[in-house]
Amino acid sequence: MGYRTKVMSTLVLGDAGDLAETTVLDPDPDLSLGPDDLLVAMEAAPINPVDFLFAAGWYGVQPTPGQPLGSEGVGRVVEAGSGLNGGLVGRRVIALANQEQGTWADKAVIPARNVVAIGDDGDAVQLAQLSINPVTAQALLTRFGSLKSGDWVGQTIGNGGVGQYVIRLARRAGLSTMSVVRSEKAAEQVRTVGGDRVVMQGEHLAARIAQALGGRQLDLVLDGEGGATVGEIAQSLKSGGTVVAYSSVTSMPPVIGLADLIYSELHVVGWWLVNWLRIAPRAEIEHTYSKLAALVRHGEISSTVEAAYPLADYRAAIAHAATPGRSGKVLFVFDGGTQ
């Protein structure tokens, strides 16, 4: 078969632990297809924080030794299993980030239920990041209250992957954003992508946030950091408002002041992409990703990219992705189906 005409490689999990230490390059992976599987020639696949958590056994889905790694990516279908009609062969697809398959591979075997077909044009490096951060940002802005034009959204780590998409999607919806970041470099990145207000962490944070807002109140607060910072932001949240926790780079839960929880009657809720992928109707999933893919293809939303590596340089790529203070995404890039 065509996909056997050159050596294929896949990154797999040796055993649960540190991603940099446990990742193994398999130079001869089994590419046999089940009846409902697709063989996808990968074009690009990011290295995400979830990949580190998953390998370490700290994620909501537990890893299995020998499991292919990589949570999302984009590629083209080159073969379909015997139970499929072949309609996706030749189509560009994204892999859904439910940890049921790996994407750090020249070619990946993916169940047909776990892909969504998108348009054939567009930058593969940007489309490869579609499955996690943009859809998370979209959900955060649309599922927790009825935000309207002119409302304000506060967030931690506004320079992060989700944070950048929140800023861009909020701006399209007529919303304003206030982001708290850890460094001036991160602050400049937020300004570059269109953030309306940015405040540095440090002393008197709640007062400086209130000053930056100029008397306005926040209508929603989003937290991907964990710890006490979100509590400082929440002091500017309207009474009865909502704080949504979607991640925690500090591995700490969001800490909200007791007075704000009680006297302002704030709501603290969580959101996890995998739950949405499990329970949402297929039509909703396809519509959401198709809409976001169109925005990516037209250049209306994007994420900063710092580096791209071939699969053979996986140790350097993983080390780069783990570097504190980096300014953009690190990805693997592939031949994308050349035979």
CATH number at 205 reads: 3.40.50.720
Q: Determine the Cα angle at 246 with ends 243 and 249, to 5°.
A: 110
Same domain for 153 and 265?
Answer: yes
* pLDDT given for residue 6 in this prediction: 53
The rounded distance, in Å, linking the Cα atoms of 164 and 291 is: 18
Share of the chain above pLDDT 90, in %: 92
Task: Kindly state whether residue 288 falls inside one of the protein's structural domains.
Answer: yes
Q: Which residue has the higher pLDDT, 303 or 73?
A: 73
What tens digit of pLDDT does each residue of 80-136 get?
999 999 899 999 999 999 999 999 999 999 999 999 999 899 999 999 999 999 999
Same domain for 196 and 294?
Answer: no
Cβ proximity of 167 and 137 under 8 Å:
no
At residue 22, the 3 state secondary structure works out as helix
Same domain for 82 and 199?
Answer: no
| 3-state SS record for 179-207 | EEECCHHHHHHHHHCCCCEEEECCCCHHH
Same domain for 37 and 158?
Answer: no
Same domain for 255 and 165?
Answer: yes
Q: What sections of 249-312 are H helices per DSSP?
A: 258-263, 273-279, 282-297
- Output the six-digit token pair for 242: 């909502």
Same domain for 43 and 119?
Answer: yes
The rounded distance, in Å, linking the Cα atoms of 320 and 315 is: 9
Residue at a domain's end among 244, 270, 296: 270
Task: Kindly state whether residue 213 falls inside one of the protein's structural domains.
Answer: yes
**What is the CB-side half-sphere exposure of residue 278 using CA atoms within 13 A?**
10
The rounded distance, in Å, linking the Cα atoms of 68 and 40 is: 14
| pLDDT band at residue 7 using 50, 70 and 90 as cut-offs | low
180: left (phi over 0), alpha (psi -120 to 50) or beta: beta
Same domain for 262 and 180?
Answer: yes
The rounded distance, in Å, linking the Cα atoms of 212 and 200 is: 11
Same domain for 52 and 91?
Answer: yes
Q: What's the chain's Rg over C-alpha atoms?
A: 20
DSSP-derived pairing of the beta strands 242-245 and 220-223: parallel
| pLDDT band at residue 326 using 50, 70 and 90 as cut-offs | confident
Same domain for 237 and 294?
Answer: no
Task: Kindly state whether residue 235 falls inside one of the protein's structural domains.
Answer: yes
- Bridge partners, residue 197, by sequence: 178
CATH number at 70 reads: 3.90.180.10
Domain limits for position 293: 2-131+274-333
Tokens 């995404």 found at: 329
Same domain for 121 and 149?
Answer: no
Cβ proximity of 37 and 111 under 8 Å:
yes
Q: Which of these ranges, 195-209, 276-290, 299-313, 325-339, has the smallest mean pLDDT?
A: 325-339
The rounded distance, in Å, linking the Cα atoms of 63 and 270 is: 22
Task: Kindly state whether residue 263 falls inside one of the protein's structural domains.
Answer: yes
Task: Kindly state whether residue 48 falls inside one of the protein's structural domains.
Answer: yes
Task: Kindly state whether residue 339 falls inside one of the protein's structural domains.
Answer: no
Same domain for 119 and 155?
Answer: no
Per-residue pLDDT at 223 exceeds 90: yes
- Output the six-digit token pair for 202: 């440090």
Same domain for 190 and 293?
Answer: no
- Measured in degrees and rounded to the nearest 5, phi and psi for residue 57 equal 80, 20
Task: Kindly state whether residue 136 falls inside one of the protein's structural domains.
Answer: no
* pLDDT given for residue 339 in this prediction: 38
C-alpha of 205 from chain center: 27
What tens digit of pLDDT does each residue of 225-263 get?
999 999 999 999 999 999 999 999 999 999 999 999 999
| Domain count across the chain | 2
Residue at a domain's end among 227, 250, 270: 270
At residue 337, the 3 state secondary structure works out as coil
What DSSP string describes 121-179? Answer: -S-HHHHTT-TTHHHHHHHHHHSSS---TT-EEEEE-TTSHHHHHHHHHHHHTT-EEEE
Task: Kindly state whether residue 138 falls inside one of the protein's structural domains.
Answer: no
CA dihedral 132, 50, 21, 110 (to 10 degrees): -50
Mean of per-residue pLDDT scores for the chain? 94
What tens digit of pLDDT does each residue of 162-190 get?
999 999 999 999 999 999 999 999 999 99
- Output the six-digit token pair for 156: 């931690």
Per-residue pLDDT at 3 exceeds 70: no
* pLDDT given for residue 8 in this prediction: 83
Residue at a domain's end among 236, 270, 304: 270
Q: Please report the sign of the dihedral spanned by the C-alpha atoms of residue 288, residue 290, residue 291, residue 296.
A: positive
- Number of helices (H), then strands (E), belonging to the chain: the values are 12, 15
Comparing C-alpha atoms, which of 185, 186, 180 is closest to residue 200?
Answer: 180
